[in-house]
Structure 1
């Protein structure tokens, strides 16, 4: 697994068709989302990009296995009519840190609320936006509002609306073909093989940080929405504009850009 720098990916995109759609490649739902999105006749070429957060650990090599199974399934479904390009690895831990780590004290003081999970998913989408702008300006994501009745705080309606709004503000369409697929069995039907949720994927150190000891999801919906509207959204748009303009700015440059942006702090 070799991660690329952004300029290397830019060089790669020069040889790809301009209608190529970015496919977020992570766990089960993201793979199913790519396969589902390919049902759209306007989507023929996909560049899958796997990205990581600094909180993730475990078996990263499993992604290659999952990618190969996806390729096999795509050929079963679409033959040679669709193209999925080789898997690209790209992350930016400084970006994750600025969104989710640097201003925790201010977030808690301002909103009496904090979880890294909503900002983490925003990071994953934001990371790929400069690349998408060089191609079709579209990104496929495997977000789902409900997981067999279970709530994931980073995939509530409020969170997904914010990711979509953020991408749109930066001139990219975030496609979520599984958003309203509640039953995990239907996800497996799209995949064409048995893949249970949470399996065959790396793990996160913050897993279930918003779930209390009794297993209940605990968060204040109003506080989370205020955090999204007044912090996460403007921060991500400001950072997105910086990434689009400068590529891979330093952590210090990103922080300074936020400090100079009126209305954020």
Structure 2
């Protein structure tokens, strides 16, 4: 895949490393950084912008890094992550806003990608974090999100999926540890037991991805398309409810 521009999801260290890796692999000449907001952020609001500057310094001089674009859609976040939570828990035994939140963050970039010729979106997600499970980032959920963006005609690139922390440090420098110099989230760690373990029903999680996560993602893409073609602004709560009522 050789394209001149890519859209980078920027949050912290891993997202910067992903952008560097994607440029090396695909030869992108221009990177458009984007900062997605959920409404649950805490901490230093300037951290993502400093991450963009770190990206500029990590890339070769001939690669142009554009000014970052902030993106947010509180109604979409609520429709995917808050309003259906009781129903999702009852059906699948899975209750964490982090799951669909990561899909929301990818979907935020879709209209922007369309406006740049279906530019690829670069994500810093990983299958595991050196053996540590994050329920918001599993191999199955990354695969599912990739399929949703493919449905939109937008490649989702996740070049860090199988990388170790040491490999990522080689891309960003050893002075930047995972989780440092980035905003936090009010809901961070909500899926952890008291002992720090992650416990969930794998069969229920698989059904959640197949019956909710992916169908909702495709329905949101369809709603974006309808708006793009001159339709009214989407009622995302109704969009998600329609999926649940099928």
Whether 1:164 and 2:146 are equivalent positions in the alignment is: yes
Aligned positions of 1:133-212 closer than 5 A: 133-137=114-118, 138-181=120-163, 183-212=164-193
Cα pair 1:235 1:264 within 8 Å, conserved: no
Q: How far apart, in 1, do the equivalents of 2:245 and 2:121 lie?
A: 27
SS at match of 1:180: coil
- For 2:103 and 2:218, how far apart are their aligned partners in 1? 10
The aligned counterpart of 2:12 is: 27
Quote the residue 1:101 is aligned against: 82
Aligned length: 241
Structure 1's 249 and 185: CA in aligned 2 closer, same or farther, altered over 3 A? Answer: farther
User: 1 CA distance for matches of 2:137 and 2:93?
Assistant: 20
How far apart, in 1, do the equivalents of 2:79 and 2:143 lie?
Answer: 22
What does residue 233 of structure 1 align with?
214
Q: Structure 1 length as normaliser, TM-score?
A: 0.85
Contact 2:93 2:201 (C-alpha < 8 Å) held by counterparts: no
For 2:88 and 2:26, locate their aligned partners in 1 and report how far apart those are by CA, in whole Å.
43
Unaligned runs of 5+ in 1: 1-17
Give the TM-score normalised by the residue count of structure 2. Answer: 0.91
Question: Hey, what's the Cα distance between the residues in 1 that align with 2:32 and 2:41?
Answer: 23
Inter-CA distance 113–242: structure 2 relative to 1 (3 Å threshold): same
CA distance in structure 2 between the partners assigned to 1:134 and 1:62 by the alignment: 27
Unaligned runs of 5+ in 2: none
Partner of 1:218: 199
Rounded to whole Å, the distance in 2 between the matches of 1:113 and 1:147 is 21
* Larger deviation, residues 159-168 vs 39-48: 39-48
Give the deviation of 1:109 after TM superposition.
1.7
Check whether the contact 1:48–1:85 (CA below 8 A) recurs between aligned residues: yes
1:141-177, CA deviations, whole angstroms, 9 ceiling, x for partnerless residues?
0011111110111111111111111111111110011
Report whether the alignment pairs 1:256 with 2:241.
no
Contact 1:19 1:136 in 2 (8 A): no
The answer to which of 185-194 and 205-214 deviates more is 185-194
Deviation sequence 1:198-236 (CA, Å, 0-9, x none): 111111111111111111111111111111110111011
1:155 is paired with a residue whose SS is: coil
3-state SS in 2 of match to 1:51: strand
